[in-house]
Chain A
Amino acid sequence: MKKILLNRDFILFSIILIILIAVGFANPLFVTPKSISDVLTDTSILIILALSQMIVILIRAIDLSVASNLALSGMLISLLSTVHPELPVYYFIALSCVIGTILGVLNGISIAILKVPFIVTTLGTLSIYRGLIYFVSDGKQVYSNEFSEDFLALIHVKFLSLSFLFWLAVLVFIVIYILLNHTRFGRNLYSLGGNPDAAKYIGINENKYIIMAYSLSGFFAGLCGYLWVARYSVASTQIAIGFELTVISACVVGGISVMGGVGTVLGCVLGALLIGLIRNALPAVDISQFWQLAISGAIILLAIIINTKTEQRKEKTIMVEN
């Protein structure tokens, strides 16, 4: 029992419940099933990106270019859909993923082969990919009436009264859970992040894993590129601007250590849910908007503090037991 209570993921889950109850008291309308399903839909893209960011953070790196990658992939397929509205929606999704993957591989090559530090590389591509959006779109937007109906319809499909976006996030969760916990690839990622030198001695090819981690991150950014433009049915140069920081904070809150090698898939999802909940709940309660940013920062900080404190306590208990 004590073990469960001190579990990071369990604590995070409790924090989410407490916030949900508190917001429910302030505004009962926020905790209706419809409203909860809205929050889950709204958080799905964040969950997918946080999970793919986790893969990169596990090997002691970070991908700051995800939001720009998402926006560029999304803009490119949107532009294509204005010229070729007859193409089936699956074509656009696949293309968006391919574009995203290519952009991710470029990051990986720069880091692994050209040995440019990951911060420099992804900070650079953050601007480059964003800049390319202005270049390809000529600064123009793609409006909702310019997309084909097919393009926008998929996102509104519902199953068991939960949205397509939510089920997709569940699918990504399962895939990444299996990938990280039950494959050699996953175990090697953890060992590379936990102890890179040891991992190299036992023959893990670091460069290969860096490129693979970044291409996965790119793949999911590309997927979210489609999801984002279809969901809001607008593609502009501004889409998802600054979203990379939201994604990274979701990972950090979820207990993914930026020192690499530590963190669970479930924790990552809970981190994203907590951030998504805060983003949705604050506009729904009567707090001055000028305070909201500070409050959301404070909750995030609090969650991290509680989380790390329990982790320390756990380590101490182990030592006493020994």
Chain B
Amino acid sequence: MKKLFLGIISSILFAFSANAADMRIALVVKGLGIGFFEAAAEGGEEAAKEIGGVEVIYTGPATTTAEAQIEVINSLIAQKVDAIAISANDRDALASIGKKAMDRGITVISWDSGIAEEGRVMNLDPSNTALIGSSNIKWMKNSMGDEGEFAILSATSQATNQNAWIEEMKKEHAKPEYSKMKWVDTVYGDDLFDKSYQEALGLFKKHPNLKGIIAPTSVGIVAAAKAVEDQGLVGKVFVTGLGLPSEMKAHVKSGAAIQFGIWNPIDLGYSAVYLSYQIATGAYTGQEGECIPTGRMGEICIGAGNNAAMADPFIFDASNIDKFAEIF
């Protein structure tokens, strides 16, 4: 009995010490079970394997709220992880918990959807915010033509990234070439499929002349496309925005969506883990002006407000959707 007990103790100690030698990086997402983030996690694992001696803890709440995310981060602080990389449900609500983690010596960065400056070392935007905003308006024009009504179907009303893109869309939309495209509404589907679907149905009823929906969220774009199909509005209403090729394949084939875009989520997760590692080891500080090597992604340079951008959004349409649907 005593032997068995000692055996258990020593194996626990062994496991613990083996773990302690590793660097543990937590990849915290907006919500579990969303295709985009599952792909990002894959990229994170890839980076960890490449670096070696790194364990990626992929986690996130079941519901896409800031409160639930704070709980997840609290438990990560208790586990004394080395670094936390967050895609935030709320820019400001997560700032204080980010600061708390940094006070405990944990490296905190945000990626995809940022935290306010005081709550993280640096922020990695998937792409240049201005470029995403203007691209969405361009895709809308390419899909519905340069005349008619369109609306936005976003995620939650507090989502950092979506709100920043919508601001940029407004700037782009103010240009003279879009003067005949009328922005009639902005609604929020909370990144829940059924809510987004109902909001899309509501848009059709509120704006019978609607010609387009921009959904800058991977959940919203699929729900909007499905609603267009179910209502027999294919060819009348066009959906664009940010979505995953694998989820949008059927809707491009049906004609509900002509073109849409996104950056590669695998690259994004890869870069987030790589950057966390580089900063957590102390090799880099993650401050403005620094260029940090990130494996196969080359170097990522940090700009004003410790913000960095990864790559340009990539456009998908009927010509390339099959190929990319296989990948993510």
- Which A residues are within 8 Å of any B CB, using their own CB? 27, 29-30, 35, 38, 42, 130, 133-134, 137, 139-141, 143-145, 232-234, 236-243, 279-280, 282-286, 289-290
Whether A239 lies near B193 (C-beta < 8 A) is yes
Q: B221 → chain A, closest Cβ, in Å?
A: 12
Whether A29 lies near B208 (C-beta < 8 A) is yes
List chain A residues, Cβ under 8 A from B208: 29
In the bound complex, CA of A285 to CA of B185 (Å) = 12
Q: A46 → chain B, closest Cβ, in Å?
A: 11
Asked if B63 lies at the interface with its beta carbon under 8 angstroms from chain A, I say yes
Q: B264 → chain A, closest Cβ, in Å?
A: 18
List chain A residues, Cβ under 8 A from B205: 27, 29-30, 35, 283-284
Known: A38-B201, A283-B198, A283-B206. 4 other contacts (CB 8 A): A144-B251, A234-B222, A236-B35, A237-B62
Whether B197 lies near A232 (C-beta < 8 A) is yes
In the bound complex, CA of A237 to CA of B193 (Å) = 11
In the bound complex, CA of A83 to CA of B77 (Å) = 40
Whether A144 lies near B226 (C-beta < 8 A) is yes
Question: Quick check: which of B14-22, B125-133, B163-171, B242-250 contacts chain A, the rest being far away?
Answer: B242-250
List chain B residues, Cβ under 8 A from A242: 63
List chain A residues, Cβ under 8 A from B31: 238
In the bound complex, CA of A29 to CA of B209 (Å) = 12
In the bound complex, CA of A59 to CA of B5 (Å) = 49
Whether B247 lies near A141 (C-beta < 8 A) is yes
Interface string of B76-117 (1 = CB under 8 A from A): 000000000000000000000000000000000000000000
Whether A130 lies near B62 (C-beta < 8 A) is yes
Of the residues B199, B246, B251, contact of A283 by C-beta under 8 Å: B199
In the bound complex, CA of A290 to CA of B194 (Å) = 18
Please judge, given known A-B contacts A144-B250, A238-B193, A285-B206, whether A139 and B32 are in contact too, CB under 8 Å. yes
Whether B226 lies near A241 (C-beta < 8 A) is no
Asked if B187 lies at the interface with its beta carbon under 8 angstroms from chain A, I say yes
Q: Which residue of A lies closest to B248 (CB)?
A: A143
Interface string of B186-209 (1 = CB under 8 A from A): 011000111001110111011010
In the bound complex, CA of A144 to CA of B252 (Å) = 12
Whether B250 lies near A134 (C-beta < 8 A) is no
Q: A220 → chain B, closest Cβ, in Å?
A: 18
Q: Which residue of A lies closest to B200 (CB)?
A: A283
Whether A237 lies near B32 (C-beta < 8 A) is yes
Please judge, given known A-B contacts A139-B33, A232-B226, A239-B193, whether A279 and B62 are in contact too, CB under 8 Å. no
**Contact sample, A vs B, 7 pairs, CB 8 Å cutoff:** A130-B62, A141-B35, A143-B249, A236-B33, A236-B35, A285-B206, A290-B157
Please judge, given known A-B contacts A237-B62, A284-B205, A286-B206, whether A139 and B192 are in contact too, CB under 8 Å. no
Whether A143 lies near B246 (C-beta < 8 A) is yes
Q: A26 → chain B, closest Cβ, in Å?
A: 10
List chain A residues, Cβ under 8 A from B38: 139-140
Give the one of A280, A282, A284 with max B CB within 10 A: A284
Whether B206 lies near A134 (C-beta < 8 A) is no
In the bound complex, CA of A35 to CA of B226 (Å) = 17
In the bound complex, CA of A280 to CA of B32 (Å) = 27
Of the residues B62, B193, B202, B231, contact of A234 by C-beta under 8 Å: B193
Whether A289 lies near B188 (C-beta < 8 A) is yes
List chain B residues, Cβ under 8 A from A145: 249-250, 253
Please judge, given known A-B contacts A30-B205, A141-B33, whether A240 and B198 are in contact too, CB under 8 Å. no
Q: Which residue of B lies closest to A45 (CB)?
A: B194
List chain A residues, Cβ under 8 A from B251: 144
Whether B249 lies near A284 (C-beta < 8 A) is no
3 closest Cβ pairs, A-B complex: A283-B202, A237-B33, A145-B250
Whether A143 lies near B247 (C-beta < 8 A) is yes
Whether A241 lies near B157 (C-beta < 8 A) is no
Of the residues A42, A233, A286, contact of B198 by C-beta under 8 Å: A42
List chain B residues, Cβ under 8 A from A240: 194
Q: B120 → chain A, closest Cβ, in Å?
A: 25
In the bound complex, CA of A283 to CA of B213 (Å) = 15
Whether A283 lies near B201 (C-beta < 8 A) is yes
List chain A residues, Cβ under 8 A from B192: 238, 241
Asked if B12 lies at the interface with its beta carbon under 8 angstroms from chain A, I say no
Please judge, given known A-B contacts A145-B250, A234-B222, whether A134 and B198 are in contact too, CB under 8 Å. no
Asked if B327 lies at the interface with its beta carbon under 8 angstroms from chain A, I say no
Give the one of B31, B193, B246, B253 with max A CB within 10 A: B193
List chain B residues, Cβ under 8 A from A289: 157, 187-188
Whether B33 lies near A284 (C-beta < 8 A) is no
Whether B33 lies near A137 (C-beta < 8 A) is yes
List chain B residues, Cβ under 8 A from A141: 33-35, 247
List chain B residues, Cβ under 8 A from A237: 32-33, 62
Whether B250 lies near A280 (C-beta < 8 A) is no
In the bound complex, CA of A283 to CA of B35 (Å) = 26
Q: Give the contacts of B117-148 with A (CB-CB under 8 A).
A: none
In the bound complex, CA of A87 to CA of B246 (Å) = 24
Q: A300 → chain B, closest Cβ, in Å?
A: 17
Give the one of A133, A232, A286 with max B CB within 10 A: A232
List chain A residues, Cβ under 8 A from B249: 143, 145
Whether A280 lies near B62 (C-beta < 8 A) is no
Q: Give the contacts of B28-42 with A (CB-CB under 8 A).
A: 31-35, 38
Q: B233 → chain A, closest Cβ, in Å?
A: 12
Whether A238 lies near B34 (C-beta < 8 A) is yes
In the bound complex, CA of A133 to CA of B33 (Å) = 9
List chain A residues, Cβ under 8 A from B193: 232, 234, 236, 238-239
In the bound complex, CA of A232 to CA of B223 (Å) = 8
List chain B residues, Cβ under 8 A from A233: 226
In the bound complex, CA of A313 to CA of B199 (Å) = 40
Give the one of A29, A143, A233 with max B CB within 10 A: A143
In the bound complex, CA of A232 to CA of B225 (Å) = 11
In the bound complex, CA of A15 to CA of B237 (Å) = 34
List chain A residues, Cβ under 8 A from B206: 27, 29, 283-286
